[in-house]
Every structure is written in structure tokens, then in C-alpha cells.
């Protein structure tokens, strides 16, 4: 028997909880300057209870060829990826109108 999702009651293979959560997010992409003139791209507004931010960070780092980390409800990526992050988030299933 496959495991059953506690939220929607469907088997894990058919679970739609994360897809629904991706559509409800209000995501903000911000550039921030840190010590020694380092620029990072911050992705804020993710709900880390319904979306696996560590897995999302891993996918973004791979797609953008950069380093980064997931801290709380934000993702930090090294470098200026303001334009490319939105395209990658849309590819990963997030709603384009909810990304600012």
C-alpha cells in the first residue's frame, strides 16, 4: 500500500497539496547588497510548511548555476539572478502573476 497524504487524503503519488500551495503563494524577488559588495537574490514569501524550500533551493541552484541556501521562509541565491529566477519559478509550477 502506498502512503496517504494527511491533508488531502489521496495517495502520495496523486497528492495535489503542493500544486495548490504553489498557486496561492505571493512571492517577492529582491536584490540585496551584503558585506564587501556581494549581491544576493532573495526570494521571500514562500510557505515552508506546504512547499519543500530545501528541494526548491536545490533545483534553483542547479538551474541558475550558483550557490545559495534556504533560511526560514526565504531563499538566498548568490549573484544577480533577478530576471532568470522568475522564469525558473514559472517552470517549476508557480503562478507568474504571483511573482513580483
Domain count across the chain: 1
Q: Which domain holds residue 50?
A: 26-98
Kindly report the CATH number assigned to the domain that includes residue 48: 3.30.780.10
Reading the block at residue 15, the C-alpha cell is: 497528492
State residue 93's pLDDT score: 82
Residue 4 located in a structural domain: no
Residue 74 located in a structural domain: yes
Residue 66 located in a structural domain: yes
State residue 47's pLDDT score: 80
DSSP string covering 16-80: -HHHHHHHT--BEEEEEE-GGG-EEEEEE---TTTS-HHHHHHHHHHHHT--EEEETTEEEEES-
Reading the block at residue 93, the C-alpha cell is: 509550477
Residue 3 located in a structural domain: no
Residue 11 located in a structural domain: no
50 or 59, which is more confident? 59
What is the pTM for the complete model shown? Answer: 0.79
pLDDT digits (tens, 9 = 90+) for 17-54: 766 766 667 889 999 999 999 999 999 988 877 788 89
Collect all residues with Cβ–Cβ distance below 8 Å to 22 and sequence separation of at least 6. 51, 92, 93, 94, 95
Amino acid at each position: 500500500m502506498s502512503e496517504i497524504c494527511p491533508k488531502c487524503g489521496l495517495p502520495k503519488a496523486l497528492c495535489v497539496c503542493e500544486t495548490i500551495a504553489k498557486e496561492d503563494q505571493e512571492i517577492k524577488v529582491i536584490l540585496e547588497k551584503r558585506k564587501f559588495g556581494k549581491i544576493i537574490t532573495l526570494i521571500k514569501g514562500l510557505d515552508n510548511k506546504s512547499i519543500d524550500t530545501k528541494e526548491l533551493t536545490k533545483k534553483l541552484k542547479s538551474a541558475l548555476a550558483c550557490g545559495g541556501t534556504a533560511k526560514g521562509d526565504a531563499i538566498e541565491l548568490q549573484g544577480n539572478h533577478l530576471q532568470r529566477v522568475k522564469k525558473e519559478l514559472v517552470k517549476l509550477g508557480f503562478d507568474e502573476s504571483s511573482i513580483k
